[in-house]
């Protein structure tokens, strides 16, 4: 998938502006030389000007993260959403393909879409968001991913925490407190999943935070399905909840008012909200550590891996341990809760 010049430590070291333009030209896209780097660290993403046309967005995939089959599954899912008139931004198909390779780099091309962040303090916006997420999940539930992974305790909890410990990221004086809180946190996550019982896993957006939703007067459209995987439906809903438990109850209720027009929500999944939040916190720290040899990461995330950072993470996880023991958000669905 990559050539020998693209090292794991500097995966994009040869990705020059000229190479970006040449890659698009290799697929018959006549560029006008304009180029703007967009906010992305896992991959490299650029807005590129096109002669006599609208600019496009070119996404160059991080080497060795996803294989071609996994990227192909993501592309097929987003294309099927777009075909169903669900506002997701699919890759552009050129000569029957959506994934291309140029000088060792794999890339895809997308139409540029503008928009602003949704105003989640408005119930009607949450309901609108819920309708579209419900439509995404209704289609996502029609068939599973075969090659893409599942969001689970092993990959989002145990593996990243073990990586941090094994590679010396935790300060010596904080290592034992970190080990203790991680053990308690993962135990709490497992207990939340046990309380939820049997939960269906479907194809998800996977990383449905507000940076991946663009809002216009016509409503939302969803971008960047790079983290799409199998998992419980609540994963695409809980990141829109914030504030007190009562605030989150109102927000979730508004989301579900639209969501359940298209897909049934299993109320037991509310047991997973704080568990999934905990896994995201653990996974995020591990993700930063695993990317630390990429020069872009120390430049941008200079606050990572300091004494204060790890003290804050330990405190944060202790708070999550307590939250996972609290009753879940009460909602009115099917006589439950």
Please indicate whether residue 207 is annotated as part of the active site: yes
Instruction: List Cβ<8 Å contacts ≥24 apart for 208-214.
Output: 208/133, 208/235, 208/236, 208/237, 208/239, 208/240, 209/239, 210/117, 210/118, 210/120, 210/239, 210/240, 211/39, 211/117, 213/117, 213/118, 213/129, 214/113, 214/114, 214/115, 214/116, 214/117
Contact 155, 189 (CB under 8 A): no
End-to-end CA, the chain: 50
Q: Which of 121, 152, 224, 294 is catalytic?
A: 224
In the three-class reduction of DSSP (H, G, I as helix; E, B as strand; rest coil), residue 191 is classed as: helix
Q: What interhelical angle do 307-324 and 172-196 show, nearest 10?
A: 30
Q: Which of 207, 226, 236, 294 is catalytic?
A: 207
Pairwise CA distance, residues 274 & 290, whole Å:
24
Please indicate whether residue 224 is annotated as part of the active site: yes
Burial class (CB in 10 A: 0-12, 13-18, 19+), 229: buried
Token match 């009607």: residue?
Answer: 124
* Residue 186, both tokens: 């993962």
Burial class (CB in 10 A: 0-12, 13-18, 19+), 302: exposed
Count of alpha carbons within 13 Å of 103, Cβ hemisphere only?
A: 17
The residues carrying an active-site annotation are: 207, 224
């Amino acid at each position: 998938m990559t050539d020998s010049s693209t090292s794991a430590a500097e995966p994009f070291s040869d990705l020059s502006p000229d190479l970006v333009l040449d890659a698009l030209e290799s697929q018959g896209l006549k560029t006008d030389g304009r180029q703007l780097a967009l906010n992305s660290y896992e991959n490299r993403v650029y807005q590129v000007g096109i002669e006599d046309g609208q600019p496009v967005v070119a996404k160059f995939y991080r080497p060795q993260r996803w294989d071609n089959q996994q990227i192909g599954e993501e592309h097929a899912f987003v294309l099927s959403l777009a075909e169903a008139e669900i506002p997701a931004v699919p890759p552009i198909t050129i000569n029957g393909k959506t994934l291309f390779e140029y000088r060792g780099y794999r890339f895809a091309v997308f139409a540029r879409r503008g928009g602003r962040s949704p105003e989640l303090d408005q119930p009607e916006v949450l309901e609108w968001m819920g309708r579209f997420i419900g439509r995404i999940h209704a289609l996502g539930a029609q068939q599973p991913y075969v090659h893409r992974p599942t969001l689970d305790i092993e990959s989002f909890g145990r593996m990243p925490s073990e990586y941090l410990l094994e590679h010396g990221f935790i300060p010596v004086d904080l290592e034992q407190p970190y080990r203790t809180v991680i053990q308690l946190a993962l135990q709490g996550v497992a207990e939340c999943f046990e309380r939820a019982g049997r939960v269906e896993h479907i194809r998800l957006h996977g990383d449905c935070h507000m940076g991946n939703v663009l809002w216009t007067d016509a409503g939302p459209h969803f971008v960047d399905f790079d983290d799409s995987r199998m998992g419980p439906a609540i994963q695409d809903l809980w990141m829109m909840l914030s504030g007190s438990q009562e605030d989150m109850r109102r927000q979730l209720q508004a989301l579900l008012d639209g969501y359940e027009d298209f897909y049934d929500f299993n109320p037991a999944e509310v047991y997973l909200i704080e568990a999934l939040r905990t896994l995201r916190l653990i996974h995020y720290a591990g993700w930063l550590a695993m990317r630390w040899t990429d020069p872009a990461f120390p430049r941008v995330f200079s606050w990572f891996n300091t004494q204060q950072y790890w003290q804050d993470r330990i405190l944060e996880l202790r708070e999550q341990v307590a939250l996972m023991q609290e009753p879940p958000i009460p909602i009115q669905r099917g006589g439950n809760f």
